Structure 1
Amino acid sequence: MKTLNILSGGAAQGLVHSIAPAFEAETGLSIAGDFGAVGAMADKLRTGVPADIVILTAALITKLADDGLVLRSSIADIGRVETALAVRAGDPPVSAKDATSLRAVLLAADAIFVPDIKASTAGIHVAKVLAELGIADDVAGRLKIFPNGATAMRHLAATNDRRPLGCTQSTEIISTQGVVLSGILPPGCDLATMYTAAVPTQAASAPQALRLIALLTSSDASELRSKAGFVSDVTS
């Protein structure tokens, strides 16, 4: 089967996989490519990695359009994704209603599983929050950093640490078996990121990529977006 090549932030992986069967049935194309830290995915496009569709943060898509790397006319918002806390399935839930309680939750964890703190949306934000809470040095030895949130969550699910915690985007938590969404970050520490799709200027299958974008953003996919963890809806 021929493929549609994708470069996407990990936040959209669960949603894309849920849409894939309908897309394949309609177009005859499977979806293949990379899901990971948005900065790394944007860099891959810039270095010439073939892609028919990209799904990244709205800010990155705008920059790629300014650089002539994606078709501005193809840009479409999918929805916002919140950064959240995760625990292993079966562990007591944790929550934080404010910065003080979030600080306590983080200090109580003996391992904190996070995505890349330099290239991923959630990881960069986690590093910022730890600094703002004044505990970056305290928890530095407990941070378990992985290339993307999905990988971090898989390792959280499998860890033998006694009081582990995860922090990444809600969609990556929801789509990973063995971990449970345990609440979003509280006001003042929160982050909701708009994810946006676009077709690269060098796409080999632009019409099919546009069809995938239409499916991802359609009103018919509203429930799928919600189940995947996108909190604000779009319609087409």
Structure 2
Amino acid sequence: MADTVNILSGGAAQGLVRGLAEAFKAKTGFAIEGEFGAVGVMADRLRTGTPADLVILTHALLARLAEEKLVIPSSIADIGRVETALAVRSRDPKVTVKTETDLREVLRSADAIFVPDTKASTAGQHVAKVLDQLGIAYEVASRLKIFPNGATAMRELAASVAQRPIGCTQATEIIATDGIVLSGALPPGCELVTMYIAGVTARAAHPKEAAALIALLAGADQSELRQRVGFAG
């Protein structure tokens, strides 16, 4: 479509992009289309030639893409920070996790643990690291339910028929999913806060509109929306 800005983005930003789609259309006349998923997968999509006007990824990945001359360095802007957090089904009691010991016991008592890709997603990689850190990776391996991205993992958690399921992914993906609730951040020593940044791609078909979308996503007047969908600022 001629009047469409195409985006490749980590799943953490999906709720924010959707929340601004109407305002962006009113301002520019352009709709927003694109893919949302594990950040590593989205970076590889750009590398292999998937058309995109802008990308929203982690700082490290976007810096790498700029070095590879796939993203215009001068266009890069911070969008906001997102915590990796725990989720439970809406009908289940929230869990209280204040220490590493609490987290270890919560994960050991869960009969299903829903997480995004443990190799390509930010939250999934962190979950794998934390399980190793807690010394329970082998013990809970058979209960890990791994999905391509956090949004899919959280939808599957909402639909789970397990007795004591729990999920772990980016807070924005938890908030955006019906049927589950945010149950709290990970405790000190296990926490992760990820900065997401955006940049116009070197092969953008609509660089002006892509830059306008980044300005909208990062703008001070959208701070309330960013907080509402789960960005910490």
- Whether TM-score is above 0.5 comes out as yes
Query: Does 1:115 pair with 2:116?
Result: yes
The DSSP-based 3-state class of the residue aligned with 2:145 is: strand
Distance 1:147 1:95 in 2: 27
- What amino acid is the match of 1:36? G
1:49 deviation in Å? Answer: 0.5
Query: Does 1:199 pair with 2:186?
Result: no
Aligned to 2:173: 172
- What amino acid is the match of 2:170? Q
1:25 deviation in Å? Answer: 1.2
1:26 deviation in Å? Answer: 1.4
- What amino acid is the match of 2:226? R
Distance 1:138 1:166 in 2: 17
Aligned to 2:126: 125
1:95 deviation in Å? Answer: 2.2
The DSSP-based 3-state class of the residue aligned with 2:224 is: helix
Aligned to 1:14: 15
Matches within 5 A, 1:34-73: 34-73=35-74
Distance 1:95 1:45 in 2: 40
Structure 1 residue runs of 5 or longer lacking an equivalent are none
Distance 2:4 2:156 in 1: 29
Distance 1:179 1:53 in 2: 30
Distance 1:59 1:73 in 2: 16
The DSSP-based 3-state class of the residue aligned with 1:87 is: strand
Aligned to 2:232: 231
Structure 2 residue runs of 5 or longer lacking an equivalent are none
Distance 1:123 1:212 in 2: 28
- What amino acid is the match of 1:41? M
1:139 deviation in Å? Answer: 0.5
Please provide the CA RMSD for this pair.
Answer: 0.7
TM-score w.r.t. length of structure 2:
0.98
Deviations 1:106-151 (A, max 9, x none): 0010000000000000000000000110100111000000000000
Query: Does 1:140 pair with 2:141?
Result: yes
Aligned to 1:25: 26
Aligned to 1:210: 211
- What amino acid is the match of 2:181? V
Tell me the matched-pair count.
232
Distance 2:18 2:37 in 1: 14
Aligned to 1:187: 188
Deviations 1:28-84 (A, max 9, x none): 111111000000000000011000010000111111111111000000001110000
- What amino acid is the match of 2:144? L
Identity %: 67
- What amino acid is the match of 1:117? T
Deviations 1:128-176 (A, max 9, x none): 0001101001110000000000000000001100100000000000011
- What amino acid is the match of 2:75? S
